[in-house]
Structure 1
Amino acid sequence: MIALSLRGVRGGVGTSSTLAGLAFALHALGQRVLVVDMCPENALGLHFNLDFAQHAGWARATLDQQPWHQSAWSIESGLCVLPYGELHAHEQDRLDALLLTQPQLWSQRQVALTEGFDWILFDLPQRLPGHAANPRCDFSITVVNADAACHVLLQRQPEPMPLLINRYDVACQLQRDLVLIWQHRYAQTLVPISLHADEAMNEALARREPVGRYAPGSLIAQDVISLASWCLLRGRRPE
């Protein structure tokens, strides 16, 4: 089983929608996929038609000392979603402290899932360092938009992870200029596929579906399929 995580360099760059689309694309390519929402906002489940006010989830079960795996939802055969669950702010902090003191917690869970899935995808939060660091991933991707804010934040990261450009608008001169800079500066880490800005992604969320299911012929759906293919090749390549 291959573990992959997505995390935005800042909030609002489209990490959850990208992860949902990637999960659906990998599944369409014959992979068994589990997506795990590590974010208290519970936004990931919206892309799979789960209730936004989802009380049950792995985080809720962990604090309540209940079987965490029973919170997973089967979207279709071979594609499952594990929501975060509903926690108050002080409970989120308590769980984060627990994850920091038990760094092997998710590693042990991942081992238990090996026989059931080919891929496990984690949607990581901006804050809560225990949540972000606990999963052990074979590779992690930082999601960015080609804008000034992301450019500044990237310069604060000494060793950036693989960078995925999302919502790329080729008609925007600023974006083209930033991408040229990044191609030079981050030549070894930039994912060779950019996800283009496409209204189909927003429409898919309104329909509460992954974009590949809602609009399989759209530009963004084809981009995500290309990303899934790249992940498959990278996942099979010895490090």
Structure 2
Amino acid sequence: MKIVAVNSLCGGAGATTVVANLSHALELLGCRTLCIDLNPANLLTLQFGVDPLHRGGWAASVVAGERIGDAVWQSDDGRRILPFGQLSREDLTNLDGSDADIVARICRQDIADIDTVILDGPSGLPEHFPASLQRVAEAATNAAVLRIWVIAADPRSYATLHRNLPASGDVQLLNRYRPECMIDSDIATVLRYEFDGGMVPVVLPEDASAPEAAACQRSVISHAPASQLAADFRALGVWCRSQLESR
């Protein structure tokens, strides 16, 4: 089993959408995936058809002392997700006493028939979320064989990236790119020059099909299969699979 960590340094870069659609693209290629939401906002569920009132998830199971594997949810198109769960602020604090290496334990014991785990990492910089979640996210990310940082082609993302340079071996994925916008084009050119081999060769455009798919609680690949964004997500899946096979 191999782990892919998808993170973003800035909220709104679209990491959650990337996770939901990368899993679908890999499933189409024969990979058996499980997406794990490490965000307390618990928003990854919206792209898997999970009942909005559903409160279960791995964090909720840890706090309640329940079996984590029982919180897995399967979408109509076969994708599987382990939500974060809905927790109160007090319950989130109670995660302090849990095993920081919770994701590795999930992968070893609780989930069967999975060959690829995709992590939706907490949005923003580590200091912006609870210490307990910092430990879980750090342990999970360290276990990943492929770490993808989702960035938008805007000045905020560019500045944040330079202040918090990813570790060696990590890659950057340009998302929500608008080719008709000069600033997007300029930043994309600079990123390719500065990071060279550290950029994923697939660029994901800004596309109305992304929010439309989320509103329908589906992936872009399922909701708008003929769209350019769906084609790019499928290309991302091919690239990701080749990376996993070589690591």
TM-score range, shorter chain: over 0.9
User: 1:114-129 to 2 correspondence within 5 Å?
Assistant: 116-126=113-123, 127=129, 128-129=133-134
In angstroms, what is the RMSD of aligned CA positions? 1.7
Q: Which amino acid aligns with 1:98?
A: G
State which drifts further: 5-14 or 209-218: 5-14
Q: Which amino acid aligns with 1:105?
A: I
Q: Which residue is equivalent to 1:150?
A: 157
Q: Which consecutive segments of 4 or more residues in structure 1 shift more than 4 A? A: none
2-structure distance, mates of 1:58, 1:113? 11
Is 1:137 aligned with 2:144? Answer: yes
On the 8 A contact 2:68/2:110 being kept in 1, the answer is no
Q: Which residue is equivalent to 2:244?
A: 235
Structure 1 position 134, deviation (Å)? 2.7
Using the size of structure 1 for normalisation, the TM-score is: 0.92
Aligned length: 235
User: 1:4-83 to 2 correspondence within 5 Å?
Assistant: 4-76=4-76, 79-83=79-83
Q: Which residue is equivalent to 1:204?
A: 213
State which drifts further: 126-135 or 181-190: 126-135
Structure 1 position 35, deviation (Å)? 0.8
The correspondence for 1:213, drawn from 222, 225, 242, is 222
Consecutive unaligned residues in structure 1, runs of 5 or more: none
Describe the SS at the equivalent of 2:163.
Answer: coil
Structure 1 position 78, deviation (Å)? 5.2
On the 8 A contact 2:5/2:118 being kept in 1, the answer is yes
1-structure distance, mates of 2:53, 2:135? 23
Describe the SS at the equivalent of 1:191.
Answer: coil
State which drifts further: 2-11 or 71-80: 71-80
2-structure distance, mates of 1:232, 1:192? 13
Q: Which residue is equivalent to 1:105?
A: 102
Describe the SS at the equivalent of 1:134.
Answer: helix
2-structure distance, mates of 1:182, 1:47? 29
Describe the SS at the equivalent of 1:194.
Answer: coil
Consecutive unaligned residues in structure 2, runs of 5 or more: 124-128
Structure 1 position 130, deviation (Å)? 2.1
**Distance of aligned partners of 1:230 and 1:114 in 2 relative to their CA distance in 1, 3 Å threshold:** farther
**Distance of aligned partners of 1:19 and 1:45 in 2 relative to their CA distance in 1, 3 Å threshold:** same
Describe the SS at the equivalent of 2:34.
Answer: strand
